[in-house]
Amino acid sequence: MRGLAAMLGKEWLELARSWKWLWVPLVFILLGIMQPVSYYFLPQMLDAAGNLPEGAVISIPLPSGGEILAGTLEQYGIFGALIIALSFMGAVSQERNTGTGALILVKPVSPAAFVLSKWLAMAALVAASLAAGYAASWYYTVVLIGPVAVGNAMAGAALYALWLLVVGSAALMFSALWKSPAAAAFSALGTFAALALLTSLFPRQLAWSPGRLPAASRELLLEGAAGSLWPTVAVTALCVIGSVLIAVRAVRAHPAD
């Protein structure tokens, strides 16, 4: 694939220059730490807030470690998905609108290498951010709440990583299809929300949908099992590959606007 290594180096440098290698993992770490810490200190915070009858005792049972990590992943499903969509909403459209994309594609760089380098950079950032944030949440959960089964915790995180990759791939695809970065972000988040909503409304009929991944992750953390997930993982992989192929075709058809 012509020019992939050079383009991948360019994308990594761009992530460093925009400080995304720093602030995106930091946001994930903060979100991860907040979940166990806030639950652990919730009685003290309520007591400090006052407005309670004299002699009242606040007794709130702590959730299990699995529940804490499941809550952390749900935070990533909301705020993490938003951050990813906003971070990559202009990955293709901005370069195409400014003419940079056309200049790059004039060189010995194929449209496939152009798009794939952006996808690989996005996937690396998502994986690094999720790993850092989840590790921080796991550490504080074990220290403050209690232990979590290692296998279930890692499998739950892997499923959520796939879910976030769907969001990032959709953002990249819509960035190649639309001129407006805002339209790309809105379309990606809309697709994300529609998948999650439809899968929750029709869980049996859409058991193969990528929207099943968040619920399966939670089931693994809370119950230790989530049934057969191979159809869901296979369809998710096809959706990601399809998004990349559509983006490549869009760039090949319209290298500049």
Return the number of other C-beta atoms located less than 10 Å from residue 106's C-beta. 10
Answer whether residue 110 shows pLDDT above 70.
yes
For residue 53, what pLDDT is reported? Answer: 60
Average pLDDT for 130-152: 92
Contact between 35 and 63 under an 8 Å Cβ cutoff? The reply is no
Predicted TM-score (pTM) of the model is 0.88
Average pLDDT for 2-30: 88
Q: What is the pLDDT of residues 189-235, one digit of tens each?
A: 898 889 888 988 888 888 888 988 988 888 888 887 767 788 899 99
Q: What is the pLDDT of residues 68-101, one digit of tens each?
A: 999 999 999 888 889 998 888 888 887 776 767 6
Q: What residue ranges do the domains of the chain occupy? A: 4-253
pLDDT confidence bin for 28, thresholds 50/70/90 = very high
For residue 22, what pLDDT is reported? Answer: 93
